Chains A and B, each alone.
Chain A
Amino acid sequence: MLAKLALGNVRRSARDFAIYFVTLALGVAVFYAFNSIGMQAGFLDDYASQLVQLIAQIVSGITVFLAVVLGFLMVYANSYLIRRRKREMGLYQVLGMTRGQVSLVLTIETLLASAGSLVVGFALGILLSQLLVFVTAALFDDAVRNFTFRVSGEAALLTLECFAVMFVVMLLVNLVSLRRVSLSDLMGAERANERIKVRGLPATVVLGVAGVALVGLAYWRLTRDGLPVASTDQYQGFLVTTAIVVVGTVALFYALGGVILALGRGARGAYYRGINMFTVRQLASRVNTVSLSSAVISLILFLAIAVSASGFAMCAAFRTNLDVSAPYDASLSAYYPDDADPSAGERDLLALVEERGVDLGSVTRSSFQVTSYQPSSIEGGDSLSFSSLSQASGVALPGYLQTLAEQGNERPVEVIGQSGYDALRRANGLPEVDLGDDGYLFLCTSSKDTATFFQGVADAGVPIELAGMTLHPVDVPVDTGASATLQDGTAGSGAVGVIVVPDAALAGALPKITYLNLMYSVPAEQGDAVASDAGDLAWGDANVDADPSDPVLYYEASRTECRYASVGISGTVAYLAIYIGFVLVVASAAILAIQQLTSASDAVPSYRLLSEIGVPRPMALRSLRTQIAACFAAPLVVALAHSAVALAQVIKVVRAVGQEGVGAYVGASVAVFVAVYVAYFAVTYAMARGLVCARTDDARA
């Protein structure tokens, strides 16, 4: 009997349950789909498959955090449902049902709705995960192999467990809330006049000023301090900044209702026109009742935008510059032991490798090698370092180099000769640059900021003393292109900076590293196999058994590997960014939608009355639209403002370690988010409009 009642209830208040149902189903779908990513590895080739499995592990960690977010959402949707049905709960008790029985009805109802949405959610999630296979493949520049329709039992189980826990929590919340209210309150719930929460003008002014001041202070602090990437000391400050922005945002939203009202009433002519005063009052009271959750939503949106935009930015940074960072088919390098004989000079790596049994020459169309030296092994070069260049020129070191220098970990400058640079230029099809007898030139592929630093030093005309010569910068801009790359690597992995000097300055010095770069005469797969054999020499006994004065092979990379590595990192980052960002935006937009629909349905009598006293329907709907739009826009605008400030810092960091052009990626991802959000607004308005129209029409029938 009770079960029948519960089923009937779910059917009857389908509209109310719909919101709960949709939220839950969407949550289950997203949750399942992303957790099933491990399964997708099966569709991809070995390399991408390993990465995807790694991501699967990370995702399951983050999943716990997102489960909490979704759980909050479920409880919220549920309590909305219960609030709307208080009177009904009261009626059951008046008719003689015990609280236990009412609780049971409630439990059965929740169970029915949850089970239904779980089934639908799983179905959606399974479809979504099949789609995601292709997204994943695209992210990893891979093709989908042997695709079949699959279901991940593991992900399903995890999803089921999470939602079982949430269901129990929700049930407890319901029972407690039912127990805590008196019967007369339940019965009177519908009739009670809606109390309008109004904060006085002084409170509004204080809160508003405090909010603006705190948020401004946080912005200023963040812009001054930057992100805490360089040291742990900064982290404390960053936490303080975060706390300030949270408090400031909350204060802003507490003040917002009052501000809207004050502004609205200030413009008296406009206020007393049409139903503007209704719109303003209604909006102010809505904003006031949901000020805390609006602030939270705004912060969640901020988090979502910041996380995914920085994810995309990093992704772009890792990805864009393979042409510069890996211009050769394969690279091999070897370093010279400190006790090697300087007079032996630069060694031929191709010959060295062949001596040890790998015939690289057989797959090579062309090759060249470049040898670098450390200033300390050049006569009179001991004092040459980034810091000394900075001091001599008065140009400040870029942030991270400064930090490293302060920690005593300064990276060494590498020096190469004119002949090596000529080889680099030729290999990249570029004209040679003549340094003359006493010129020098900087090469820099590590970051834009570092390149700017070197340009500053060159512009200042700082002379360099080496091997008894005084070198002056030549009038050529710092080389930041492929010809500045000594060997293949991922973006930003090369030397911090290289100085090209006349060969004469290096005569007799002990070489540090010789780089061998190859262009294959055969297809990449074949070439890579041989290059990889050469690379294995670095690991096997070959190095150990070799003549101790021989250079030690220690690095091998092919363009194929660099591409995988770079795509792998960028794919991983992008995947996580999408996952987290998507869930957060869906969650916060769903909460907003629920709030707006609740308030629209609470306001139905007002709209009916407006219609009765002769307000044309378009005017009433315009007011509804304005209210919903403002409630959606407020958290978004604040989140966007926060994001703009934070992302400026993110871009700075990414530029320091990577490349430019990330601004466009950040902009694009923000645009996608805003689009999703606007779509949510459109759907919410359409539903609210339907609600208001249907119930005002009812009144006339």
Chain B
Amino acid sequence: MASALSVHGLVKVYGRGKSAGTATRALDGVSFDVEAGEFVAIMGPSGSGKSTLLNCVATIDRPTEGSVLIGGRDVTGMRSRDLADFRREQLGFIFQDSNLLDALTCRENIALPLTIGRVPARQVVERVDAIATELGVASVLDKYPYQVSGGQRQRVAACRAMVGGPTLVLADEPTGALDSKNSRTLLERFDEMNARQGATILMVTHDSFAASFCGRVLFIRDGRIFTELRRGDVDRREFFERIMEVVATIGGGSDDAR
């Protein structure tokens, strides 16, 4: 299978001097690949660089060094005008606080990426209905975001991220603001979308439970890939146990024990 995402030698330095002392190396040479159709989680303690990594992949931030290839195209050198088109056509975003536009109904929020891409109106309606049914929010399409529950909002946001059939869906702590029941619903839907539609999803999370739905988990610490776990054929519960073991090794270790 082709690589949906290929990150190579990614370095991100914050601070003026970019030399030791004044500068912070948020990413310190991160390399990994995500195959098309994979569901990958990135885990790590606070300050490990996982959000910076996601921002670099999302083209919202520019890395200091290294390359990010999405669908075979290097996005690090792209001009900002091309980036807007690229984000719209190749990427889908899901944020922690669903980030829907308050002024639009759920249906219109989902339709937005399509309308921007000049998809004909009739097709827009069809595709919105299809993806909303898939993610179980067809009944709330004509409501405003503030009229639906947090879980539904997050699933609407997922619809918006996926409706355009992006090369890569990026999710930043998508379950962060949800209770466990809604988290589970959302993750199961992700899993289904991944399995049935072959959606490639890269999810940043600090929640082992959320990560256990994925096929592979990348652990990141101090700006580097610490280790990687593959689910293989084990069931979700067992995979969860194994994730917990790794978290126990690095999670508390780097931040709290020192």
Within 8 A of B (CB), among A606-641: 606, 609-617, 619
Residue in B89, B121, B145 whose CB lies within 8 Å of A272: B121
Given A194-B102, A277-B104, A614-B85, verify A700-B61 contact (CB < 8 Å): yes
Specify which of A194, A269, A277, A606 lies most central, judged by the most chain B CB atoms within 10 Å of its CB: A277
Smallest CB gap from B81: residue in A: A616
Nearest CB of chain B from residue A145's CB, rounded to whole Å: 61
Let me know if B211 is at the binding interface, CB within 8 A: no
| Interface: B3 (CB within 8 A) | no
Contact of B103 with A614 in the complex, beta carbons under 8 Å: no
Q: Which residues of A contact B104 (CB under 8 A)?
A: 277-278, 281
Name which of B106-114, B130-138, B218-226, B245-253 contacts chain A: B106-114
> What does the 1/0 interface line of B71-103 toward A look like (CB < 8 Å)?
000000000110011111101010000010111
Chain B residues numbered 33-65 whose CB sits less than 8 Å from any CB in chain A: 58, 60-61
Determine whether the beta carbon of B121 is less than 8 Å from that of A609: no
Identity of the chain B residue whose Cβ is nearest the Cβ of A279 in the assembled complex: B103
Which residue from A273, A281, A613, A615 sits with its C-beta under 8 Å from B108? A281
CA distance A612 to B118 in the complex (A): 18
Q: How far does the alpha carbon of A253 sit from the alpha carbon of B67 in the complex, in Å?
A: 54
A268 interfacial by beta-carbon distance below 8 Å: yes
Rounded to whole angstroms, the CA-CA distance of A699 and B60 in the bound complex is 8
* A180 at interface, CB cutoff 8 A: no
Contact check, B99 vs A274: say whether CB atoms are below 8 A apart.
no
| Nearest neighbor of B124 in chain A, beta-carbon distance | A272
Q: In the complex, what distance in Å separates the CA atom of A639 from the CA atom of B51? A: 52
A258 CB to nearest chain B CB (Å): 14
Given A613-B87, A700-B60, A700-B61, is A272 in contact with B111 using a C-beta cutoff of 8 Å? yes
Are the C-beta atoms of A614 and B102 separated by less than 8 Å?
no
| Nearest CB in chain B: distance from A176 CB, A | 28
B116-146, CB < 8 A from A? 116, 118, 120-121, 124-125, 144-146
Complex-state Cα separation, A193 to B160, whole angstroms: 19
Q: Does A656 contact B (CB under 8 A)?
A: no
For the complex, what is the distance from the CA of A615 to the CA of B116, rounded to whole Å? 7
**A614 and B108 in contact, given A274-B116, A285-B103, A700-B60 (Cβ under 8 angstroms):** no
Q: Are B121 and A273 in contact, with the CB atoms below 8 A?
A: yes
B227 within 8 A of A: no
Can you name the residue of chain A whose Cβ is closest to the Cβ of B60?
A700
Give the chain A neighbours of B115 by CB distance below 8 A. Answer: 272-277
Q: How far is the CB of A561 from chain B (nearest CB, A)?
A: 65
Asked if A282 CB lies within 8 Å of chain B CBs, one says yes
Of all chain A residues, the one with the shortest Cβ separation from B113 is A613
Judge whether A43 is part of the interface by a CB distance below 8 angstroms: no
> Is A614 in contact with B111, judged by CB distance below 8 angstroms?
no
Is A76 part of the binding interface, using a Cβ–Cβ cutoff of 8 Å? no
Taking a contact as CB atoms closer than 8 A, the residue among B86, B93, B111 that contacts A277 in the complex is: B111
Q: Is A614 within 8 A of B101, CB to CB? A: no
Q: Sort chain A's interface into a size bin.
A: 20 to 34
Q: Cβ of A271 < 8 Å from any Cβ of B?
A: yes
A12 interface residue (CB < 8 Å to B) = no
Instruction: Check B146 against A193 for contact (C-beta < 8 Å).
Output: yes
A365 contacts the other chain (Cβ, under 8 Å)?
Answer: no
Chain A residues within an 8 Å CB radius of B118:
273-274
In contact, B146 and A614 (Cβ under 8 angstroms): no
How many Å lie between the Cα of A274 and that of B120 in the bound state? Answer: 11
Enumerate chain A residues within 8 angstroms of B124, measured Cβ to Cβ: 272
What's the least CB distance linking A262 to chain B, in Å?
14
Q: Does residue A544 face the partner (Cβ distance < 8 Å to B)?
A: no
Which B residue's beta carbon lies closest to that of A606?
B101
Chain B residues lying within 8 Å of A224, measured Cβ to Cβ, are: none
Contact in complex: B102, A193 (CB < 8 Å)? yes
Q: A273: shortest Cβ distance to chain B, in Å?
A: 6
| Chain A stretch 246-281: residues in CB contact (< 8 A) with chain B | 268-269, 271-278, 281
Closest residue of chain B to A194, judged by CB? B102
Q: Which residues of B contact A619 (CB under 8 A)?
A: 116
Q: How far is the CA of A550 from the CA of B237 in the complex (A)?
A: 127
Contact B146 A275 (CB under 8 A): no
Asked whether A18 is an interface residue with its Cβ less than 8 Å from the other chain, the reply is: no
Query: With A272-B115, A281-B103, A700-B61 known to touch, is A613 a contact of B88 (CB < 8 Å)?
Result: yes
Q: Complex: how many Å from CA A616 to CA B84?
A: 5
Decide if A614 touches B87 in the complex (CB within 8 Å): yes
B61 and A614 form a contact (CB under 8 A): no
Q: Which of A565-624 contact B (CB under 8 A)?
A: 605-606, 609-617, 619
Residues of A within 8 A of B80 (CB): 617
Once the chains bind, are A614 and B121 in contact (CB under 8 Å)? no
Contact assessment for B145 and A614 in the assembled complex, using a CB-CB cutoff below 8 Å: no
> In whole angstroms, what is the CA distance A269 to B115 when docked?
10
Bound-state CA distance A353–B161 (Å) is 100
Contact A614 B144, beta carbon cutoff 8 Å: no
For window 183-222 of chain A, which residues contact chain B by CB distance below 8 Å? 193-196
- Does the CB pair A614–B99 fall under 8 Å? no
Report A58-85 CB contacts with B as 1/0, cut-off 8 Å.
0000000000000000000000000000
> Contact between B84 and A617 (Cβ–Cβ < 8 Å)?
yes
B72–chain A nearest beta-carbon distance, Å: 19
- Contact indicator per residue, chain A 288-320, by CB within 8 Å of chain B (1) or not (0): 000000000000000000000000000000000
- Which A residues are in CB contact (< 8 Å) with B125? 272
Q: Is the CB of B101 within 8 A of A615?
A: no
Bound complex: CA A617 to CA B87 (Å): 13
**CB atoms of A616 and B85 under 8 A apart:** yes
Closest to A192 in B: B146
* Cβ contact within 8 Å between B93 and A278: no
Residues from chain B with Cβ under 8 Å of A195 in the complex: 146
Bound: A278/B105 CA distance, A: 10
Can you name the residue of chain B whose Cβ is closest to the Cβ of A270? B121
Residue ranges of A at the interface with B (Cβ–Cβ < 8 Å): 193-196, 268-269, 271-278, 281-282, 285, 605-606, 609-617, 619, 699-700
5 closest A-B pairs by CB: A614-B88, A614-B87, A272-B121, A193-B146, A281-B103
* A-B contact list, 20 entries, CB within 8 Å: A195-B146, A196-B144, A196-B146, A268-B121, A272-B114, A272-B125, A275-B116, A278-B101, A278-B103, A278-B104, A605-B99, A606-B102, A609-B99, A611-B84, A612-B60, A613-B116, A614-B84, A614-B91, A615-B88, A619-B116
Known: A277-B112, A610-B112, A614-B86. 11 other contacts (CB 8 A): A193-B145, A196-B103, A274-B115, A275-B115, A277-B115, A278-B112, A285-B103, A606-B103, A611-B84, A614-B85, A700-B61
Give residues in B with beta carbon < 8 Å to A: 58, 60-61, 80-81, 84-89, 91, 93, 99, 101-104, 108, 111-116, 118, 120-121, 124-125, 144-146, 160
